[in-house]
Amino acid sequence: MLIGRKVLVKDEVNSTNDVAKALAVEGEPEGTVVTAARQTFGRGRTGRRWESPQGGLYLSVILRPELPAPDLTLFTVLSCLPVAQAMEEVCRVVPSIKWPNDVRVEGKKVAGILGEVCYRGGEPRFMVLGIGIDLNTDPAALTAPEAGSLREICKRDLDPERFLNVLLFRLDDMYARFMKGERELDLYARYSESIGRDVEVRLGDQRVRGRGMRLDADGALVLRSEDGMIYRATSVHDVVPLDRGQVRFEGG
Ligand code: BTN
């Protein structure tokens, strides 16, 4: 097992992604994981904050895949799968994935992933995969309206060590397969709230409604809009699942 061969357990840090990045710059080998009980400046996608009170699981993995940048963004998108699988196994819940990187249970966001790639001379040098899970979080400590705590959903305390072990095992397996060229796109589609579903893609004031079709080679969400055009949602967009019937395709 590569991922989790070494796990550095911290109490409080600014951001496990920052700690992992600093270690990676110093030459820390691939597979090292940094965990923290709390983060004072947990970061989310698109510059958002990630609330990181006690009770959550916050971890970052150092990876050094020799792959082009589009593969790294696809890998980040697919890394929701091991998170969802660990939730099924340990929490016995039914998770779904809101593109690109939110894992949700009963309509609440309970986990998010932030993949950050460090480049040298235009080529990826290493990547840090940061995962935040609201495992035993007190819901009162979460102010984001969409956020939920797995403990509250499951109505019991969840074992963080077991969760971490299962997650690292699944992530390691998925990474090894990804490096061999396997792309678990069908499995992703099964968990996805966006593929085969009606969605609205938002960027600023712009809105496009359509049906999610598939992941592109770089993890972008390919969708067919109401007027039959093909669009790609990338990391700058928000993709919101819609109820059936809200999208009206031209020609029926
Ligand atoms: C998101 O949903 O926007 C992504 C959230 C990612 C949060 C994790 S917690 C561990 C790691 N350290 C951070 O600062 N962020 C990631």
For ligand 1, is residue 112 a contact (CB within 6 Å)?
A: yes
**Does 16 contact ligand 1 (Cβ within 6 A)?**
yes
Q: How far is the CA of 44 from the centre of ligand 1 (A)?
A: 5
Q: Is the distance from the beta carbon of residue 82 to the nearest atom of ligand 1 less than 6 Å?
A: no
The pLDDT value given to residue 136: 98
Give the per-residue pLDDT at 246. Answer: 85
For ligand 1, atom 16: residue with the closest CA: 130
- For ligand 1, say whether the CB of 132 is within 6 Å of any of its atoms: yes
pTM over 0.75: yes
Q: Is the pLDDT of residue 200 over 80?
A: yes
pLDDT higher than 80, residue 151? yes
Residue range 18-45, pLDDT digits in tens: 999 999 999 999 999 999 999 999 999 9
Given the CA of residue 17, which atom of ligand 1 is nearest to it?
A: 12
* Omega cis (within 30) before 139: no
pLDDT of residue 43: 97
- Using a pLDDT cut of 90, give the percent of the chain over it: 92
Give me the pLDDT at residue 166, please: 98
pLDDT in tens, 75-92: 999 999 999 999 999 999
Domains parsed from the chain with CATH numbers: 7-191 (3.30.930.10), 198-241 (2.30.30.100)
Q: Return the residue whose CA atom lies nearest to atom 15 of ligand 1.
A: 43
Question: What is the per-residue pLDDT for 46?
Answer: 87
Question: 152-163 pLDDT, tens per residue?
Answer: 999 999 999 999
**Tokens, residue 173:** 């397996």
pLDDT at residue number 252: 61
What are the distances in angstroms from CA 212 to CA 114, 231, 238, 247? 22, 9, 13, 11
What is the rounded average pLDDT of the residues 180-186? Answer: 97
Distance between Cα 52 and ligand 1 center (Å): 9
Of 166 and 248, the one with more pLDDT? 166
The reply to whether ligand 1 has any atom less than 6 angstroms from the CB of 100 is no
pLDDT at 243 over 90: no
Tell me the sheet residues that pair with 34.
Answer: 8, 60
